[in-house]
Amino acid sequence: MSTDAQENYRDTVAQSLADPRAFWGEAAGLIDWITPPTQVLDETNPPFYRWFTGGRLNVCYNALDRHVVHGRADQVALIYDSPVAGSKARYTYAQLLDLVARFAGVLRDLGVTQGDRVVIYMPMVPEAVIAMLACARIGAVHSVVFGGFAPAELAARIEDAAPRVVVCASCGVEPSRVVPYKPMLDEAIERSAHKPEHCVVLQREQLTAELGERDLDWKQVMHPDAVAPAEVVPVEATHPLYVLYTSGTTGKPKGIVRDSAGYAVALRWSMTNLYGVQPGETWLCGSDVGWVVGHSYIVYAPLLAGATTILFEGKPVGTPDAGVYWRMIQEHGVVAAFTAPTAIRAIKKQDPRGELIGDYDLAPLRALFLAGERLDPDTWRWATEHLGVPVIDNWWQTETGWPIAINPLGPDGATFEIKPGSPTLPTAGYDVQVLDEKGEPVPAGTEGAICLRLPLPPGTLPTLWQDDERYVSSYLSTFEGYYLSGDGGFVDEDGYVYVMGRTDDVLNVAGHRLSTGSLEEALAGHPSVAECAVIGVSDALKGQVPRALVVLKAGIELDDAGREQLQAELVQRVRAEVGAVAALRQVDVVDALPKTRSGKILRKTMRQLADGQEAMVPSTIEDRSVLDALEQVLRGR
């Protein structure tokens, strides 16, 4: 850990905050522009800040064409490694460009033009990446929906994004079963008021989907005789590259908008300056293209950097064993890997002594990055001890698109001392402040709401999809001049950030962000349920799992068997409406839910009781005896 590197990085961050125009203006040189921007930061319409206005570019060009032009045509861009499908494939930059340009041609021929939306509902197959980049090529806005979401969630996204075309696969391959995606898409379209004109379906060998009138077969439309490749369409710097829906507290997902130029610049900068990956090197990000980590660090950042990215269709354990990450690191020569703490906890559970790690040569590996949920110190220690490389926590959100806090990886390892439990220091461009209820900064070491002073750096959300008002009310209205992250925590005397958990009711299950509102809506739809509440309780493997408390409609009395039946039906409803990823297992039937006098359910108090913590009971509680009656149920799980 060199003090020079530390000083340099601190200077970089200080400069990015003192003179963002100079800092990001210089970083803009990392990407190719069709027309350079006239303004680096456009502050004419606060709180709606815009980056690189006046500039024109194409993100797909930056991710593919320019590498082909500059000598990387034969370098592998994408490695598909699927233990569940039993297949592997490698695509050079030239090959990937050919496929992307062709699929862009398919979309163009289906009438997709700049600004049109395309929903992508696919498992971890190369065609998902091809479809994303094809949209970027013609200025269409992609919206990828995680394959683990059920029809109702997919329908909500289709309705909001109003896509002209949906791209999907016939199925996903989970270790325990083949998941038919196409019938779920059909059901979602049925439920949605908006109907796409066409669906392009990738038929996988594990399951062939039935095609209807609006459906087209991927292989047929992609045949070189059937389509001519599409040229790059130049777009404005602020043109939306994608919309990615994420969970808030209500059942209505938030459409996070990502601009083109800010994102391309920030990601390209982050790949070398934060993750320490150089062009030509191989990188493994074990997430899913349905999540922001997948968008940014499976697809865009490594390709913008001219690196080789791995698309892994499998699980950290069971496909076939807890050594699969280590196998890929050896086989593909991975220099840095990125996954969620849950994945490491799953590996640790199966291989507590890390014996499988010893079966592989991990010499090229320089670091393991972990994000998506809090990295608990035990998991950090285990990984550090067994891997012998820096294990680096990084904190960010779908909204930001890239890390708010990280310990940057330099040539000599982590730049700063690692303090377990902290993602280290704020990243360039992020002015992190911890505020109390009145919006005043708190002293070091004191917990509060973690906020980011505006403007946010490039790459972060400029707004919500067609909903400026909700953008302001959700994020900017609590404390003027700040973005409210929704996370609570503190900053210590050395400036290290500690993120302790959400201050709202957003759930984080195995690194998957879910809304209590969606789960509650699914439960409330059952004819016997009068009222319900979902809380996220601590779980040794998944970090958090949901737990439901339901109150029956008046007059419904159930014996033990009846309760069991109801519980099973409710678990099934959540699987069917939200998706299996919600992992709801525990449902308790209770007499009443504790509320404040204004009717707000005391989810946080219940969560504290369930986690065996000291419960903070607000003075505004309506009826204390309701909470007392629940204490037994909640504590005794």
Q: Which residues bind ligand AMP (CB under 6 A)?
A: 246, 291-292, 371-375, 393-398, 423, 486-487, 499, 502, 508, 513
Tell me if 255 contacts ligand COA by CB under 6 A.
no
Q: Which of residues 162-181 bind ligand COA (CB under 6 A)?
A: 172, 174, 176, 179
Q: Which stretch binds ligand COA (CB under 6 A): 243-251, 280-288, 552-560, 612-620?
A: 280-288
Q: Smallest distance from the beta carbon of 287 to ligand AMP, in angstroms?
A: 9
The Cα 397–Cα 18 span in angstroms is 24
Alpha helices in 37-147 (DSSP H): 59-60, 66-67, 93-109, 126-138
Token pair for 181: 């995606």
The residue assigned the tokens 């007059």 is: 555
**CA nearest 182: which of 164, 162, 207?**
207
Hey, which bits of 110-205 come out as E strands?
A: 117-121, 141-144, 165-169, 171-174, 177-180, 198-202
Q: 462 and 49 in contact (C-beta within 8 Å)?
A: yes
Q: Smallest distance from the beta carbon of 400 to ligand AMP, in angstroms?
A: 8
| End-to-end Cα, the chain, rounded Å | 45
* Residues listed for the chain: 637
Query: Residue 246 pairs with which residues in a beta bridge?
Result: 254
- Residue 287 touches which member of ligand AMP, ligand COA, none, C-beta under 5-8 Å by kind: ligand COA
The Cα 188–Cα 191 span in angstroms is 5
Tell me if 581 contacts ligand COA by CB under 6 A.
yes
Q: Smallest distance from the beta carbon of 384 to ligand AMP, in angstroms?
A: 16
DSSP reduced 3-state for 200: strand
Q: Checking DSSP bridges between strand 141-144 and strand 367-370, what pairing results, if any? A: unpaired
Tell me if 486 contacts ligand COA by CB under 6 A.
no
What would the x/- binding string for ligand COA be over residues 355 to 394, using CB under 6 A?
A: ----------------xx----------------------
Find the binder of ligand COA among 163, 251, 286, 536 (CB under 6 A). 286
- Residue 619 touches which member of ligand AMP, ligand COA, none, C-beta under 5-8 Å by kind: none
- Residue 343 touches which member of ligand COA, ligand AMP, none, C-beta under 5-8 Å by kind: ligand COA
The Cα 585–Cα 208 span in angstroms is 31
The Cα 344–Cα 540 span in angstroms is 12
Q: Which CB sits closer to ligand AMP, 155 or 391?
A: 391
- Residue 502 touches which member of ligand COA, ligand AMP, none, C-beta under 5-8 Å by kind: ligand AMP
The residue assigned the tokens 């359910």 is: 601
- Residue 300 touches which member of ligand COA, ligand AMP, none, C-beta under 5-8 Å by kind: none
- Residue 148 touches which member of ligand AMP, ligand COA, none, C-beta under 5-8 Å by kind: ligand COA
- Residue 286 touches which member of ligand COA, ligand AMP, none, C-beta under 5-8 Å by kind: ligand COA
**Cis geometry, peptide bond prior to residue 408 (ω within 30 degrees of 0):** no
The residue assigned the tokens 């319409």 is: 45
Tell me if 343 contacts ligand COA by CB under 6 A.
yes
Q: Which CB sits closer to ligand COA, 112 or 293?
A: 293
The Cα 57–Cα 34 span in angstroms is 5
Q: 578 and 617 in contact (C-beta within 8 Å)?
A: no
Q: Which CB sits closer to ligand COA, 163 or 316?
A: 316
Q: Which of residues 84-143 bind ligand COA (CB under 6 A)?
A: 123
Q: Smallest distance from the beta carbon of 305 to ligand AMP, in angstroms?
A: 21
Residue 440 one-letter amino acid: E
Q: Which CB sits closer to ligand AMP, 513 or 603?
A: 513
> How many angstroms separate the Cα of 178 from the Cα of each of 103, 174, 334, 346, 574?
26, 6, 29, 22, 19
Q: Which CB sits closer to ligand COA, 57 or 581?
A: 581
The Cα 162–Cα 194 span in angstroms is 6
Tell me if 315 contacts ligand COA by CB under 6 A.
yes
- Residue 379 touches which member of ligand AMP, ligand COA, none, C-beta under 5-8 Å by kind: none
Tell me if 455 contacts ligand COA by CB under 6 A.
no
Find the binder of ligand COA among 61, 242, 283, 291 (CB under 6 A). 291
Rounded to a whole number of angstroms, the CA Rg of the chain reads: 24
- Residue 16 touches which member of ligand COA, ligand AMP, none, C-beta under 5-8 Å by kind: none
Hey, which bits of 18-62 come out as E strands?
A: 41-42, 50-51, 56-57
Q: Smallest distance from the beta carbon of 128 to ligand COA, in angstroms?
A: 11
Continuous segment of H or E residues that includes residue 393:
strand 391-395
Q: 609 and 637 in contact (C-beta within 8 Å)?
A: no
- Residue 487 touches which member of ligand COA, ligand AMP, none, C-beta under 5-8 Å by kind: ligand AMP
- Residue 277 touches which member of ligand AMP, ligand COA, none, C-beta under 5-8 Å by kind: none
Find the binder of ligand COA among 76, 144, 155, 346 (CB under 6 A). 346
DSSP string, 423-443: --EEPTT--EEEE-TTSPBPP
DSSP string, 298-362: IIIHHHHTT-EEEEE-S-SSSSS-TTHHHHHHHHHTEEEEEE-HHHHHHHHHH-TT-GGGGGS--
Q: Which residues bind ligand COA (CB under 6 A)?
A: 123, 147-148, 172, 174, 176, 179, 286-288, 291, 293, 315-317, 339-340, 342-343, 346, 371-372, 510-512, 580-581, 583
